[in-house]
Amino acid sequence: MAMLRARAGLGLLGTRTWPLISAARPILDMSYSHHFVDFHGSNIPTSMKKLVVTQLSPDFRKAVTLMPNVPVPVPGDGELLIRNRFIGINASDINFSSGRYDTSVKPPFDIGFEGIGEIVALGLSASKNFTVGQPVAYVKNGSFAEYTTVPANIAIPVPLVKPELLTLLVSGTTAYISLKKFGYLSEDKTILVTAAAGGTGQFAVQLAKHAKCYVIGTCSSEEKARFLKSIGCDLPINYKSENVASVIKEKFPEGVDVVYESIGGEMFDTLVNCLATEGHLIIIGFISGYQTSSGMLPIKASALPAVLLRKSASVHGFFLPHFMPEYKEALMALVKLYQSGKLLCGVDHGEQSPEGKFTGLESVFRAVDYMYTGKNIGKIVVELPHLVNSKL
């Protein structure tokens, strides 16, 4: 067993082999069979629930299985064991469950991109920068579990275990970095955000307003339009009742400078044609096709070169894992904006879904279904309750 620390004042009873945790000095080269008690005085169980991809499919319910009784992982040296309190739902969860991101990986494998919770155990070298009970967030595969081990060097200390902070980990940083790299935002530019009331769209809207742009946001309901107004969107367009191309042509005959696009298919074609001269379209997803066997809906690709050439316009793809060198700076900037009250982090807990709030790993299936109904406002977050609620 790696050299680990034991937390002072906690009972060491029972039969499970666990790393020792200490707020005081290290206990070196010791291996005990004991029952581990966390910083709230509650027992860490020997087993837990987690979600596992057991077959490849864009149908999340077919692809993913709830495992009700798997061992709680033991952190190695340099690792943290995190008790997950909130986990984020992303449209690309079904891209992962269908094997599109890495065709070499075969089931079974873990799923879930992001989580936030509290450290309940840690390896010795990890104790240099972290302590038991500390709230942390992380971006790492395998968050759809009650407990997750995370390398200490990628864990993110946070002031509180709050779902609002979780929204920044993937959705917020995607908007921040992509717009900084490819948006070329400046005062008086016009930006159009698709799925603007969704998990990442809400941040694109607000960051563009901070850059003093005129912001257009597409959405699918009047409730979402009101939300967009509340976060500064100048012109919400309900595409269920309005024609996006017609509205843009009427109000912006010269086109829009930047498009932040996550829908794909027909919407992509429409907005490429709405670009202004030297305009930029940033692809951060194409959710309309994720549930299909190919993963995308067709676009008029044969016409794309001519459209871009005629306008000296550009299309950029953006995939967050390619920009991790900029990640820390982006997240720190977003947290600062949130803490100063300049950034709203919209969270959708599923209260308006047919079966109510998303609570427990079992509800991840409902949460993914809910996302694809297009009814969420803000980031969809699932809460994982525990017997002992955090007092931090």
User: Above 80 in pLDDT, residue 4?
Assistant: no
* Average pLDDT over every residue of 241-256: 98
User: Above 90 in pLDDT, residue 164?
Assistant: yes
Strand, helix or coil for residue 342: coil
* pLDDT classification of 39: cutoffs 50, 70, 90: low
* Average pLDDT over every residue of 1-29: 33
Tokens, residue 103: 């065709």
* Average pLDDT over every residue of 123-143: 94
Dihedral over alpha carbons 147, 152, 157, 163 (to 10 degrees): -30
The rounded percent of the chain whose pLDDT value lies above 70 is 88
Query: Residue 386's pLDDT is what?
Result: 78
* pLDDT classification of 30: cutoffs 50, 70, 90: very low
DSSP assignments along 295-332, one per residue:
SS----GGGHHHHHHHHT-EEEE--GGGGGGGHHHHHH
Q: What is the pLDDT of residues 316-362, one digit of tens each?
A: 999 999 999 999 999 999 999 999 999 999 999 999 999 999 999 99
User: Above 80 in pLDDT, residue 77?
Assistant: yes
CB distance 6 to 21 below 8 Å: yes
Query: Residue 67's pLDDT is what?
Result: 98
Query: Residue 205's pLDDT is what?
Result: 98
Query: Residue 40's pLDDT is what?
Result: 60
Query: Residue 88's pLDDT is what?
Result: 98
CA 133 – CA 127 distance, rounded (Å) = 12
* Average pLDDT over every residue of 46-59: 96
CA 87 – CA 328 distance, rounded (Å) = 20
Query: Residue 388's pLDDT is what?
Result: 53
Which residues contact residue 83 at a Cβ distance below 8 angstroms, ignoring those fewer than 6 apart? 38, 44, 117, 118, 119, 120, 146, 147, 386
Query: Residue 184's pLDDT is what?
Result: 96
User: Above 90 in pLDDT, residue 33?
Assistant: no
- For the chain, the distance separating the N- and C-terminal CA atoms, rounded to the nearest angstrom, is 30
CA 210 – CA 191 distance, rounded (Å) = 12
* Cis before 108? omega within 30: yes
DSSP assignments along 181-220, one per residue:
HHT---TT-EEEETTTTSTTHHHHHHHHHHTT-EEEEEES
Query: Residue 103's pLDDT is what?
Result: 86
* pLDDT classification of 45: cutoffs 50, 70, 90: confident
- Which of 214, 212, 255 lies closest to 233, judged by CA? 214
CA 386 – CA 366 distance, rounded (Å) = 20
CA 77 – CA 34 distance, rounded (Å) = 19
* Average pLDDT over every residue of 129-155: 96
Query: Residue 124's pLDDT is what?
Result: 87
DSSP assignments along 75-99, one per residue:
P-TTEEEEEEEEEE--TTHHHHHTT
User: Above 80 in pLDDT, residue 41?
Assistant: no
Query: Residue 22's pLDDT is what?
Result: 35
* Average pLDDT over every residue of 260-289: 97
206-220 core/surface letters (b: 16 or more CB in 10 A; e: else): bbbbebebbbbbbbb
* Least confident among 26-30, 47-51, 255-259, 264-268: 26-30
